[in-house]
Structures are given as structure tokens and as C-alpha cells.
Amino acid sequence: MEHEEVKVRRGPRSGLPVVVAIHSRALGPAAGGIRLRRYPDWRDGLADALRLSEAMTAKNAAAGLDFGGGKSVIAVEPGVELTPSLREAALLDVGELIESFGGTYFGGPDVGTGPDDMVVVRRSTSRVFCLPPEHGGTGSSSIPTALGVFAAVRAGARHVFGSPDLAGRTVVISGLGSVGALVARHVASAGARVVVSDVDSSKRDSGYEWVDPEKALRTPADIVVPAAVGGVLSPELVPELAAPLVVGPANNQLTADAVADELAARGIVWVPDFIASAGGAVYTLLREVEGLDEAAANARVEAIGATVSAVLDGARDNGTTPLREARRLVEARLASQRAFES
């Protein structure tokens, strides 16, 4: 087991399975969002928490943050109606579980939760970020997350096409949620032709070109942006990808690490998701913990582009993959901390 600590509890108020997984606190207290979603089985929620907390360790380390990786999951079981009262009870339950870590783990919004939910969680613990501004927080992290993804897209374009200019490029965005919609706005403003997809067909009216979700990642394009669920890049999909650059905010995009080698073998450049999606964590932690102002925090978010360039250039120069170079960056950061402590 690679994780430092994992707690699983059936919420005393909600009766729903609640999980908090701490992958690493080597660099500081663990930080990671609170996910609330339906799972076929609560063990699927546990598996999600384990994967996502490991990804948060990599995300925070690669971004130069003094935080480790953790994740919370509230698993809504099949057949359970998530009423407003049950939702409130579950949020209080997860807050209580977070509080039990004694300040070594901090939560925030994730899939299925938002800033208003953090107000409820705070009734059980103060270890929570991204409350609405009127409650003393920085609000939704979607804006800085999208800004970081846009910086990553431009850096990827520079590497693949020789210029960060997106004018005339075709960009397919799979998932038009809070982050995907903002990324679409950024790349459209930069002159790109934008094609979008989402499981919610009502978003056809977004004003962009539309493609059905099952065809999105197979649509010919210059750049594909996975912005919905993880586990979308598989050995079966790789031969059907029709874009030379893949970069987006969806977590855990690869079904297995070996897919990174398959992408590279086809000449497809993939920017590791834990690099591209770090903007929300960077902005929130720098604002709410280190006290940076908005401009300084946004500058650090935009520096994700420089990290992407270093990873992609390193992969090219060393004959490796972007995943291996990104992991090397993470391990170097963790190793430097271990050396400091010894």
C-alpha cells in the first residue's frame, strides 16, 4: 500500500460511505477535493479516492506547492435518492471525517460539489478551501484551472506546431462542464475553431460546433482536450486518435501507464493531466494559505506553461515520454524534501 492513511466510514448522519485517502504528506498537509458522485459499489468510490489522492501528490509536487496529496469521496449508492437533506448530512459527515485528521488534510470542491457546499462542510471542520468570497474564500477554482489548461495548450502547441498561436487550429473539447466551457472560451478567443461534446445534449446550444461524445476523441483535430471523466485514453482508443496533441484537465486520463508509451509510439504528444490541471490548486493554495494577491497567484498559474514546455522538451531530448519526465519532476521534488529532512 502506497498511501499513508485511508479512512472509510459510513456517515453517521447520512448513512452513505465516506472515504478520505491521504497518499502523501511529505511536502506538507495533504490537499484535495471532495467528490460526491454515484458509484455502482462503494468500493469503486474507494478506488477513485486512492487514484485521485495519488494524482494530487503529483499535481502539488510538480506545481511547487508545499502540500501533499489527498482526496475525499462521498459514494452515493445505487437506488439512493440524493435529497437536499441527505446531501447536507453527507457533507457534514465528510467534514467530520476531515476534522479527524487534525489539520493534516484540507478539502475543497471537486466533481459533484462546489463553493456553497464548502459552507456546509465548514460546519464540521475549518480545514476547507474555496468557500464563496462572502464567506472568506476564493470561490470556484474553475477559472484558474481553465487558465492553467489554456497555458498548457499553448505550450503544447509551441512544442508540436512550432508556435503557441492557436489561430486557425481545430480544438476538440470533450466535456463542457465548468472548466471545459471556460477552456472553450479561451481557445475561441485565441482564434481556434472549437468543437465540443458533452453527455448533456442541451449543451448543443453552446454556440460551438458539436460532436457526439462517443466520437469526440476520434474527431480529426489539431488538439484534443479531455475535460470530463478520467480513464478515456486506452489501448483501444490510441489507434483511433486523430490529433497530434492531447492536453486537458480531466484527472487520471490514462487507463494504464503503458498507454503513455503507445501514444508516444504514434507520435501523439500527451501532456500529463496532473500538470495541465494544477491551476485551481495553485491559485487556491497560494491565495488562501500564502496570502498572495490575485495577480501574483494568476502569474503562478500561467507558469504551468513553462512547466509543460520543460516536460515536453525533456521527453524529446531524453527519448522518453512526457509522463516519465513529469514523474521525474515530481520525484525530484519529493527527494529534495526527504534530503532536507534527513
Q: How many CA atoms lie within 13 A of 227 on its CB side?
A: 29
Unique residue bearing C-alpha cell 503507445: 262
Q: Identify which of 117, 122, 32 has the alpha carbon closest to the alpha carbon of residue 68.
A: 32
First and final C-alpha spacing in the chain: 23
Sign of CA dihedral 71, 112, 250, 293: negative
How far, in Å, CA of 67 to CA of 274, rounded? Answer: 14
Q: How far apart are CA 144 and CA 210, in angstroms?
A: 25
> How far, in Å, CA of 224 to CA of 289, rounded?
34
7, 59, 71, 215: the catalytic one is 71
Q: Which of 98, 149, 146, 153 is nearest to 126 (CA)?
A: 98
CA-wise closest residue to 282 among 268, 302, 262, 265 = 302
Whether 71 sits among the annotated catalytic residues: the reply is yes
Active site (catalytic) residues? 71
